[in-house]
Every structure is written in structure tokens, then in C-alpha cells.
Structure 1
Amino acid sequence: MELLAALTLGLIGSFHCIGMCGPIAIALPLTHSNWISKILGASIYNIGRAFTYGLMGIFFGLLGKGFKLAGLQQWVSIVMGVIMIISVLFPVVLRNRAQLDGLINKLVSRLKKAFSNLFKNHSYYSLFLIGLLNGFLPCGLVYMAIAGAVATGEVLNGAMYMVVFGLGTLPVMLSVSLIGNLISTRFRNRIRKFIPVFIVIIGILFILRGMNLGVKYISPKLNKTNNTEMKMMH
């Protein structure tokens, strides 16, 4: 259920990613003569992004593991769900969208200038590094995915959650890298309207998960083995 949520968040959220990462994806040095090499290069760039997300997942999964060992996993899941819902209902940061887009464009522009050598280099290694650095760009959807990684309460699960989220963005971002901004703004805006709805749904699922209702897949009983072992050690 967690990985399915991560994959769907990546798939739907990738239409938002076009505005954020699209300029970088279009500017990739994909000057190879055949389409197979171009597809491989664009895929390596996106794998670089997923790799960064995986590193984030390890860190935040470890943080979630700490909460789990402290017996706070249920509360963490509920809090992460509430944060997701609040971010949609009270989007204070997104009130001035024009200003935000301007900041994003400036950030992308500076990133391209700072790593101009990578864009001049046509090697697969450079494409991987561009994707790796691209993964660190500030993004609201990534923050939502991070909240999910924390709620997993496990290092491996957190890493897998973030990697699957990154792979979910692959189809759209790969298309942008190869064909340019093919998807119309009108279509993107229609899809983006569903993103807040889906984030609320994920938030509700995390809240239900934390409530420990004993409902299979949605709110399963959490394993209390770790807590029992810790008590026996004392």
C-alpha cells in the first residue's frame, strides 16, 4: 500500500515536475546520434534523481525508525498525515504563485550556470550527476514523499518509498527530456488539479494507519515485538 501510494504520487505529481525540473530536463546534453542512446541518457539522468531520493529515504527512514523504537510510530504516521492535509487546505507558501515560479526559475538558472561544465559534457556520468543534483532542488511534492518515508518507520522501506516515488515521475520526465515540452499547459493544469486531492487521500491513509484499527492494508495492527523486546531488556 505504501509503495503504491509512492508510485501514484510520483506519476500524478510528475505533471507538476514539468514546471520545476522541465527546463533542466529539456536542456540535457542529449546529442547522441541514435534514439537508443538518447533514451539511455535521459534514463540515467532520471535514475540520478531517484538515487538522490533514495538517499533522502535512508536518512528520513532512519529518523522514522528512531520514532518507532521510541514507541511513537503511530503518532508519527498521524502527524505526517495531518501535515499533508494541512499543506493542501492551507497552502500559505503557494499564495503568491507568480513569485514562487520566479524564484524557481532563478534557482534553475543558477543551477545550470553553476554546473555548466556538466551540461557541456555529453557523457552518461555527467547526466547522472545532473540528475543527482536535480534531486536536491526544493519541491513540495518531494517534501510530501519525505513525510511518507518518515511514516514507514524503517530505513529500507523509507529508501524504497522515495525511490519508487522517483521512478513514478520517470514516464513524464523521460518524455520531456526526449521530445521537449510536448504535454500542453492546459492538460498539465487539468492533471495538477488532482494532485491536492490525492495528497489529502494519502494523508487520510497515514492517519488511519496510525490509528491501528486492525484493518488489513489500510490500518493494520502494528507489530509490537520491538517494544516488548526493549521492555524485556530492562
Structure 2
Amino acid sequence: MDIVTSSLVSAFLLGLFSSAHCVAMCGSVIGALTLSLPATVRNNPVRMLPFVFNYNLGRIISYSLAGGIVGAITSPLVDLGGLQWLRGASILIMVGMGLYLAGWWPQFARIEKIGTPVWRWLQPLSQKLLPVTSKLQAFCFGAVWGWLPCGLVYAALITAAATGDPLTASASMLAFGLGTLPAVMGTGFLVGFLSKTARTRWFRRLAGILIMMMAIIMLISPLIMHDGHDNHSHQQHEHDSGAQS
């Protein structure tokens, strides 16, 4: 598995494993949006689906845009060897997020204050888009919602930044967003049940442990890839030596 594929898979799994946090944090947002729709839409899943989808489409596009920005910022570090530090930071943040979700380190929530200035600037815009009455409005609200302060998004962004390439970083955040899609889309239809489940101790601990496992996988995957490369090179060398003899 090359580094690009590894980055995309890791980002997708991070989004998927963060379901508990997504439902707990975003459930109230999408729940309020869903409940604010006209009864004729809200009570008809087929008519409500485009609205819920557009919320999430806007959110994921914002993630991807943020990934492209951080990838462009960190791209000069490729030749300076600074990306390993970013990768290490992303692993530490994922461990911290896992401990926070599991309820073992509640103080970690303070990291979400990093994005407060941006959200303070965007929040009035989100208020102007309420109540949502059209699919375009749902998309625009989702695009603003994508900048809501979130520790898991920051962990994914640092992981994306460690690629040192704007396109790869953007694709990585797109993969992360797609990983969160099942949980957040489901919340739009099962607001009460999923929000209640996501707040249970066992579910949050499971999500936290899964995210910490992801951090461990990210930590050891380069070693596995390097070992596999060395074995391949050794076999190729033996093959070449045998061919020459």
C-alpha cells in the first residue's frame, strides 16, 4: 500500500470510527435542522433525503477545502523533513481524542477552542440560512457547518497536512468526511435513537478505543511498509544475482 492510499484509508476509517463523537456533536445540529423542515418534508423520508444529503455534501466539501489549504501550507516542508513531526502530532491527537471519547481525558475537549475564532466569524452567516427551506440553502448551511470546531476534524486535518500535498490532503479530508457520512446521515432520520445511543458510556468507549487503535495502526504502518519494501528489494537483488550467475 503506497502512502497516498494509506492516507486515504486511514482518513476514511478515522471518520467511520468517530461515529459516536459525530452523532453526539452534530446530532443536535442536524436534528434541529431536520425538525425545522416543513412537516410535509419531515414526515416523508423520500422528500427529506435530498435535504439531509445536501447538508452533508456541503460539510464534506468544506472539509476537503480545508484539507487543500493545510496541504498547500505544509507542502514546503516536504524538502525540509518536517512532515514526520506533523504525522507524530496527528497520532498524539488521535490518542487524545480516543481518551476523550472514552471518558478518560475530558480536558482534551479544550483543543476544540482552536477553531473558535473562525466559527465566531461564520456563525452569524449560519443563522441567516435558517430556517432551511430549499436544497441549495441546505447545502450552504452544510458548507458553513463544516467549519464547526471539532477535535476529530483537527486530528484529520493534521493527518492530511502530513501528506505535504494539497491534492492528497484534500482527498484525505474528503475520505474522512465520507467516513462520517453513515453516522451523520443516519442521525438525520433517527435523531432520537442515535443521539441517545451515542451518549451511552459503552458506545463512547468503543469509539474511543477504535480511534486509539487507528493511531497505533498509523504508527506501525510505515514500519510494515518499510519492511515490505526491504524484503522486496532483497528478493529482487537475489533474483538479479541469480540471473547474472
Query: Normalising by the residue count of structure 1, what TM-score does the alignment of the two structures yield?
Result: 0.74
Tell me by how many angstroms 1:188 deviates.
4.6
Q: Which moved more, 1:80-89 or 1:122-131?
A: 80-89
Does 1:13 find its partner at 2:18?
yes
Q: Find the aligned partners of 1:156 and 1:216 in 2 and give their Cα distance.
A: 26
The alpha-carbon deviation at position 73 of structure 1 amounts to 2.8
Residue of structure 2 in register with 1:30 after alignment: 37
Which blocks of at least 5 consecutive residues in structure 2 are unaligned? 1-5, 234-245
Q: Aligned Cα RMSD in Å? A: 3.5
Higher mean C-alpha displacement, 14-23 vs 154-163:
14-23
Whole-Å Cα distance in 1 between the matches of residues 164 and 63 of structure 2? 16
- 2:183 maps to a residue whose letter is V
Whole-Å separation in 2 of the counterparts to 1:20 and 1:87: 13
Q: 2:54 aligns with which of 20, 24, 44?
A: 44
Query: Following superposition of structure 1 onto structure 2, how do residues 102-181 of structure 1 map, counting pairs within 5 Å?
Result: 111=123, 115-181=126-192
Taking structure 1 as reference, are residues 115 and 173 closer, same or farther at Cα in structure 2, changes over 3 Å only?
Answer: same
Q: Please tell me the residue identity of whatever aligns with 1:30.
A: L
Query: Offset of 1:69 from its aligned partner?
Result: 2.6
- Structure 1 gap segments, 5+ residues each: 222-234
The corresponding residue for 1:232 is none
Q: How many residues align?
A: 210
Deviations 1:167-201 (A, max 9, x none): 11111211221232222634653232133323333
Deviation, 1:212, is 8.7
Q: Computing the radius of gyration over CA atoms, which structure comes out larger, 1 or 2?
A: 2
| Cα distance in structure 1, aligned partners of 2:127 and 2:196 | 28
Moved more, 200-209 or 62-71: 200-209
- Per the alignment, in what secondary structure is the counterpart of residue 129 of structure 2? helix
* 1:114-140 deviation digits (Å, cap 9, x = unpaired): 634422241111101111111111111
Q: Give the match for residue 202 of structure 1.
A: 214
**How many angstroms apart in 2 are the aligned matches of 1:179 and 1:87?**
25
SS at match of 1:152: coil
3-state SS of paired residue (1:169): helix
> CA offset at residue 36 of structure 1?
2.5
Cα distance, 1:38–1:186 mapped onto 2, change above 3 Å? closer
Counterparts of 1:95 and 1:48, CA distance in 2: 30
Instruction: Give the match's secondary structure for 1:137.
Output: coil
CA distance in 1, matches of 2:197, 2:31: 19
Q: What residue is the counterpart of 1:65 in the other structure?
A: 75
Partner Cα separation in structure 2 for residue 10 and residue 20 of structure 1: 13
Task: Pick one of 56, 76, 84 that aligns with 2:66.
Answer: 56
